[in-house]
C-alpha cells in the first residue's frame, strides 16, 4: 500500500461534500465574497477583542457603490464594497463615477473593490491612479475557492480563530457551511445578531464572541480546582470542559449555570460529580 499523505487525505475527505446554496443562484461570487468579508471581520473581532457591533447591508438602496456596506454607527465612516467577477473589468465610466460619487458624499469611508482574479486585480490596481481612484483598495478573492473554500489555507486560518476546539481541521467544513449558509440567508443586520444565528447553525462549536464576565471566569476556575481531573472554562455563552481525552463545548445557559450559587452548592468534587450535575451521564437504571 502506498503511503498516505494525511493532509491531502483530509482535504479530499472534506471535498466529498456536495453542497450548493439555494439562495446563491445568479450571484454566487458576490454572496461568496460577502461571506468571506463577514468571516474576516468575525476573525478580526475575535483576535482584537469584541468592540463595536457593526451592521451589514447589501445592495443598499439609493447607493451607487455598495454591493456590501459595513457601518460602524456613523454612516460617514462605513466600509463600502464593490464586488465584481468580470473578466475584462476596467475602471471605465461606470465604476469610476460610482466610486467618485460616493467618495464625494462620504469622504471618510473606506472603499474596496473585490474581484475574482489576481490578474484583473493587478491591472486595476496599477491603473487606478490614472482615474484619480487611489483611495480605492483593490483586492481579489480567487473564484476557484468557491468549490471548496474550507480547504483554502487563507480561509482555514480565519476559521481557526473562531473554532473553539484545539483540533481544528475536522471543523472547517461545518464551520464554513454555518457561516456561508447563515450569511446567505440574511445578508443584512447587526453582526451580533447574525453571529448568534451562525453559532446556532454551527451547533455552538464557534467562539460566541461575547465577553465573559469576571464572576463566570472565577466560578469556572473554582470548579476546576475542586474537580481536579477536568478543566472548566467559560467563553461567552458556552462552558468548555477539557482534559487529555475529553473536549466538550456545552451550550448551557452558561450565565445562568455559572452564576447560580445553589447549583454549585456543594461544589462537585470529581469529574463524575460534575458530569452528573450537568445531567450528562446516561441513566443506566432504565
Partner 1 sequence: MNREQTFRTLIDDHSERSELISALEAASERLTQVALGPIDQAWYLVGTGYDFSQFSQKVAVGLADPVGGIACLWTEACDIPALEGDRVFACRQEFVEPSAPNIDHTLLLCSSVIADKMEPLTHLIRIAPMVRPRSVVVAAALINVQVRAELSRFLTEYFGRNAEIVCDSETSGDLRQVRSTIAERLDNRRLQVVPIMSEWLLSRRFGPRPEPTRTSSYTG
Applying CB under 8 A, the residues found at the interface with partner 1 are: 1, 4, 6-7, 9-10, 12-14, 16-24, 165, 167, 169-171, 173-175, 177-178, 181-182, 184-185, 201-205, 229, 243-253, 256-257, 263, 270-273, 275-284, 286
- Rounded to the nearest whole angstrom, what is the least distance from the CB of residue 202 to partner 1 in the complex? 6
Pairs from 97-101 (Cβ < 8 Å, separation ≥ 24): 97/64, 98/64, 98/65, 99/65, 99/133, 99/135, 99/136, 100/132, 100/133, 101/64, 101/65
Which of 93, 256 has the CB closer to partner 1?
256
Short-list 91, 87, 95, CA closest to 119: 87
- Rounded to the nearest whole angstrom, what is the least distance from the CB of residue 212 to partner 1 in the complex? 18
Which of 124, 220 has the CB closer to partner 1?
220
Measured in whole angstroms, the distance separating CA 174 from the mean position of its chain's CA atoms is 12
- Rounded to the nearest whole angstrom, what is the least distance from the CB of residue 156 to partner 1 in the complex? 13
CA distance 191 to 271: 37
Which of 100, 255 has the CB closer to partner 1?
255
- Rounded to the nearest whole angstrom, what is the least distance from the CB of residue 87 to partner 1 in the complex? 27
Cell of 230: 477536568
Which of 88, 167 has the CB closer to partner 1?
167
Which of 84, 172 has the CB closer to partner 1?
172
Which of 72, 204 has the CB closer to partner 1?
204
- Rounded to the nearest whole angstrom, what is the least distance from the CB of residue 20 to partner 1 in the complex? 4
Q: Are strands 55-58 and 68-71 parallel, antiparallel or unpaired?
A: antiparallel
Q: Is 197 helix (H, G, I), strand (E, B) or coil?
A: helix
Measured in whole angstroms, the distance separating CA 40 from the mean position of its chain's CA atoms is 7
Q: What is the DSSP letter of 163?
A: B
- Rounded to the nearest whole angstrom, what is the least distance from the CB of residue 32 to partner 1 in the complex? 13
Amino acid at each position: 500500500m502506498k503511503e498516505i499523505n494525511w493532509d491531502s487525505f483530509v482535504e479530499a475527505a472534506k471535498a466529498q461534500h456536495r453542497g450548493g446554496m439555494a439562495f446563491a443562484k445568479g450571484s454566487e461570487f458576490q454572496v461568496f465574497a460577502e461571506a468571506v468579508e463577514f468571516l474576516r471581520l468575525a476573525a478580526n473581532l475575535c483576535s482584537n477583542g469584541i468592540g463595536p457591533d457593526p451592521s451589514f447591508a447589501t445592495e443598499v438602496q439609493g447607493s451607487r457603490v455598495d454591493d456590501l456596506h459595513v457601518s460602524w454607527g456613523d454612516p460617514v465612516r462605513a466600509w463600502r464594497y464593490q464586488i465584481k467577477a468580470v473578466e475584462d473589468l476596467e475602471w471605465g465610466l461606470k465604476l469610476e463615477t460610482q466610486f467618485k460619487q460616493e467618495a464625494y458624499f462620504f469622504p471618510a469611508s473606506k472603499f474596496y473593490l473585490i474581484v475574482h482574479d489576481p490578474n484583473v486585480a493587478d491591472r486595476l490596481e496599477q491603473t487606478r491612479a490614472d482615474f484619480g481612484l487611489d483611495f480605492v483598495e483593490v483586492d481579489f478573492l480567487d473564484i476557484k475557492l468557491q468549490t471548496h473554500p474550507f480547504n483554502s489555507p487563507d480561509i482555514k486560518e480565519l476559521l481557526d480563530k473562531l473554532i473553539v476546539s484545539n483540533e481544528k481541521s475536522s471543523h472547517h467544513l461545518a464551520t464554513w457551511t454555518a457561516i456561508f449558509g447563515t450569511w446567505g440567508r440574511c445578508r443584512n443586520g447587526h453582526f451580533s445578531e447574525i453571529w448568534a444565528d451562525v453559532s446556532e447553525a454551527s451547533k455552538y462549536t464557534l467562539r460566541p464572541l461575547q465577553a465573559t464576565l469576571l464572576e463566570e471566569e472565577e466560578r469556572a476556575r473554582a470548579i476546576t480546582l475542586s474537580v481536579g481531573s477536568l478543566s472548566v472554562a467559560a467563553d461567552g455563552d458556552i462552558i468548555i470542559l477539557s482534559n487529555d481525552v475529553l473536549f466538550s463545548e456545552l451550550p448551557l445557559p452558561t450565565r445562568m449555570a455559572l452564576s447560580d450559587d445553589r447549583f454549585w452548592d456543594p461544589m462537585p468534587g470529581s469529574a463524575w460529580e460534575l458530569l452528573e450535575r450537568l445531567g450528562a451521564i446516561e441513566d443506566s437504571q432504565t
